[in-house]
Structure 1
């Protein structure tokens, strides 16, 4: 582990000398993640992208990519673009990245089941803003808005998210 890693602990995520409160999946931690189980997958995950809403926030890092009105994330295991960024209109099941709520105003993309996705193994394991303290996600790791932005300013594409097995 390096000081640049995000490491999940029982008290939150340890990063850059701080422990930052977070929420994880409603299904707890899993070493056998499946699509729709609500679990956060254990293991070492690399940050492979950063997306942001340019109509709501300033560009958080030089390598961040804006979320456009047609941007979606495929969550359909039958789709050859499963667990990838796709564009509307889209025939397969997907998640809209441009949401009415602020949860995806800033999204860090992990390499969970990416780039060569195995159907059914889970998709869209992101780091994003939480709904409120302690409110679980569908498998992502979520932070308070200001904490997420603080993290985004300090990470790089080689940062790792480490989720130890319980």
Structure 2
């Protein structure tokens, strides 16, 4: 099932509209590593990762896996594991997926620059939990916890990011 999100943070799924946070760099068709932009286009939901110590596993239509303290996502364009889940440490820059701030308690891995992976086209584009003030993300799509759990349980499988 498809959701639509617009640059003003309107996320629509199955006729319901909720608020979303997007990247501080806006929405861009020419997404680049470090630009803070949310990529324009169709982003399939590949799988869901979750912190097992922060609540029950989310119901969802895609595979789900618990996150561990050693899980990370490589965002180093020069590394062979760029834009992939990795075990930390790896000898390259990678974002830890075990966050204390709650934003990564649930992570929907979105299909961006992953089949195939091109260096510097952007990495770690996720659907995750928004901060209380809906502050902009580094390029991800972020929803409130209740909203994220609900859309996952209702069968979300892709997000279309509109211009």
TM over 0.5: yes
Does the aligned pair in 1 maintain the 2:32–2:122 contact within 8 Å? yes
Runs of 4+ with deviation above 3 angstroms:
none
Does the aligned pair in 2 maintain the 1:23–1:133 contact within 8 Å? no
Q: Distance in 1 between matches of 2:69 and 2:48?
A: 16
Does the aligned pair in 2 maintain the 1:83–1:114 contact within 8 Å? yes
Is there any run of 5+ residues in structure 1 with no aligned partner, and where? none
Go from structure 1 to structure 2 and tell me whether the alpha carbon gap of 1:74 and 1:61 turns closer, same or farther (over 3 Å shift): same
TM-superposed deviation, 1:116:
1.9
- For 1:45, the equivalent position in structure 2 comes to 43
Q: Distance in 1 between matches of 2:136 and 2:23?
A: 5
**Paired residue secondary structure (1:55):** helix
Q: TM-score, normalised by structure 1?
A: 0.92
- For 2:4, the equivalent position in structure 1 comes to 7
- For 1:110, the equivalent position in structure 2 comes to 110
Number of equivalent positions: 160
TM-superposed deviation, 1:134:
3.5
Q: Distance in 1 between matches of 2:89 and 2:52?
A: 21
- For 2:161, the equivalent position in structure 1 comes to 163
TM-superposed deviation, 1:11:
5.6
Per-residue CA distance 1:74-111 (angstroms, 9 max, x = gap) = 00000111000000121110000011110000010111
